[in-house]
C-alpha cells in the first residue's frame, strides 16, 4: 500500500459503545474490535495510512517488540476495505 493513498470510512451508520463499534454497510451489520472501531472513527475524514498508524500508536501505545505497527495497521485497513467499511480516497 502506498503511503500517498488515503482511506476514508464508507459506512451507512455506526454506533460506538464501550470502545467497540457496530456498523451498517448496505444491509450488513458488523461488530468491530476497539482497534478497528478507532480506525473507522479516525477515517471519518480521508487519512493516510501512515497518519492513521501514528494516531493509533498514540491511543493504544506502541506494539510489542518485533511487531511491525505499520504492517499491522495496513493489514487491518485491508480487511476493512475488503469488507466495504473503508475505501480509497
For another protein, the binding residues (CB under 8 A) are 12-15, 17-18, 20-24, 26-31, 81-84
Cβ nearer to another protein, comparing 8 with 22: 22
User: In angstroms, what is the minimal distance from the CB of 70 to another protein?
Assistant: 21
Its sign, for the CA torsion 43, 48, 49, 50, is negative
Of 54, 34, 56, 52, nearest in space to 43 by CA: 52
Nearer to another protein, 3 or 12 (CB): 12
Q: Report the residue number, 22 or 57, with the smaller CB distance to another protein.
A: 22
Instruction: List C-alpha distances in Å: 62 to 57, 65, 68.
Output: 5, 9, 10
Distance CA 16, CA 70 (A): 24
Please, what is the minimum distance in Å from the beta carbon of residue 73 to another protein? 18
Q: How far is the CB of 57 from another protein (least distance, A)?
A: 25
Amino acid at each position: 500500500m502506498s503511503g500517498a493513498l488515503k482511506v476514508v470510512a464508507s459506512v451507512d451508520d455506526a454506533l460506538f459503545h464501550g470502545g467497540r463499534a457496530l456498523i451498517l454497510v448496505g444491509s450488513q451489520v458488523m461488530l468491530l474490535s476497539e482497534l478497528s472501531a478507532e480506525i473507522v472513527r479516525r477515517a471519518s475524514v480521508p487519512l493516510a495510512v501512515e497518519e492513521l498508524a501514528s494516531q493509533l500508536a498514540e491511543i493504544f501505545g506502541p506494539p510489542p517488540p518485533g511487531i511491525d505497527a505499520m504492517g499491522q495497521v495496513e493489514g487491518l485497513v485491508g480487511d476493512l476495505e475488503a469488507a466495504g467499511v473503508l475505501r480509497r480516497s
